[in-house]
Structure 1
Amino acid sequence: MAKTKPLVIGLTLILVASLGFNIYQWNTTSSLTQQNQLSLERQEMLHQLTATQNKINDNLIRLDGALQTACHKLSTVGLSGTQARTILSELVANNSLIVNAATADVKDVLVAVEPSNYSSIEGQDISLQEQNLQLHQTMRSAMSNMIPLVEGFPGVVMVAPIFDGSGKLIGSLSIVVQPSLLVQQSITPASEGVTQYSMWAMQSNGTLIYDPDPAQQGKNLLTDPIYADYPDVQSFTHRVAAEQSGYGSYQYYDTNLDNASKQVVSKEAYWTTVGIYGTEWRLVVWHALDP
Structure 2
Amino acid sequence: MNSPRIGSLLVLMIILGTSCATSASSEADFGPQTTGGEPLWRLLTASDAVNANLSRMETALVSASLALKETGIDGPAAQAILLNLTKADASVIDCVTIDASGIVREVEPASFKSVKGENLKWQSQVNDTINTGMYSGIHFLKAVEGLYAIDSEMPVFDSNGTLIGTVSLLFNSSQFFGKVLEPFQPAGNSNIWVSRADDSTILFDPDPAQAFLNKSSFLYQDYPELLRLFDRMSFERTGYQTYDFLDEAHFKTIKKGCYWTTIPNRGTEMRLVLSLEL
TM-score (norm. length: structure 1): 0.79
Corresponding position of 1:248: 241
Deviation at 1:203, TM superposition (A): 0.6
Say whether the 8 Å CA contact 1:89–1:115 is kept in structure 2: yes
1:178, 1:213 → 2: CA distance?
16
Q: How does 1:125-144 map to 2 (within 5 A)?
A: 125-144=119-138
Deviation at 1:245, TM superposition (A): 1.1
Partner SS state of residue 252, structure 1: strand
1:179, 1:117 → 2: CA distance?
20
Q: Among 256, 263, 287, which residue is 2:276 paired with?
A: 287
Q: Among 67, 71, 77, which residue is 1:73 paired with?
A: 67
2:262, 2:202 → 1: CA distance?
14
User: Would you say 1:207 and 2:201 are equivalent positions?
Assistant: yes
1:112, 1:286 → 2: CA distance?
42
Say whether the 8 Å CA contact 1:135–1:141 is kept in structure 2: yes
What is the letter of the counterpart of residue 265 of structure 2? I
CA-to-aligned-CA distance 1:40-60 (integer Å, 9 cap, x gap)? 854221111111101110011
1:158, 1:145 → 2: CA distance?
6
2:137, 2:40 → 1: CA distance?
27
Corresponding position of 2:77: 83
Q: Are the structure 2 counterparts of residues 41 and 96 from structure 1 closer, same or farther at C-alpha, using a change threshold of 3 Å?
A: same
Say whether the 8 Å CA contact 1:56–1:182 is kept in structure 2: no
Structure 1 unaligned spans of 5+: 1-34
Q: Are the structure 2 counterparts of residues 229 and 40 from structure 1 closer, same or farther at C-alpha, using a change threshold of 3 Å?
A: closer
Q: Among 53, 58, 63, which residue is 1:59 paired with?
A: 53
Q: How does 1:1-291 map to 2 (within 5 A)?
A: 42-187=36-181, 189=183, 195=187, 197-205=190-198, 206-220=200-214, 222-257=215-250, 262-289=251-278
2:260, 2:64 → 1: CA distance?
34
Q: Percent of aligned pairs with the same residue?
A: 29
1:277, 1:177 → 2: CA distance?
17
Say whether the 8 Å CA contact 2:57–2:88 is kept in structure 1: no
Say whether the 8 Å CA contact 2:95–2:109 is kept in structure 1: yes
Say whether the 8 Å CA contact 2:102–2:127 is kept in structure 1: no
Deviation at 1:135, TM superposition (A): 1.4
Point out the structure with max Rg over C-alpha: 1
Corresponding position of 2:16: none
Deviation at 1:156, TM superposition (A): 1.1
The root-mean-square deviation of aligned C-alpha atoms, in Å, is 2.1
What is the letter of the counterpart of residue 199 of structure 1? I
Partner SS state of residue 92, structure 1: helix
Say whether the 8 Å CA contact 1:60–1:276 is kept in structure 2: no
CA-to-aligned-CA distance 1:189-242 (integer Å, 9 cap, x gap)? 359xx857411110112111011111110000x211221121111101111121
How many residues align? The count is 246
Deviation at 1:133, TM superposition (A): 2.4
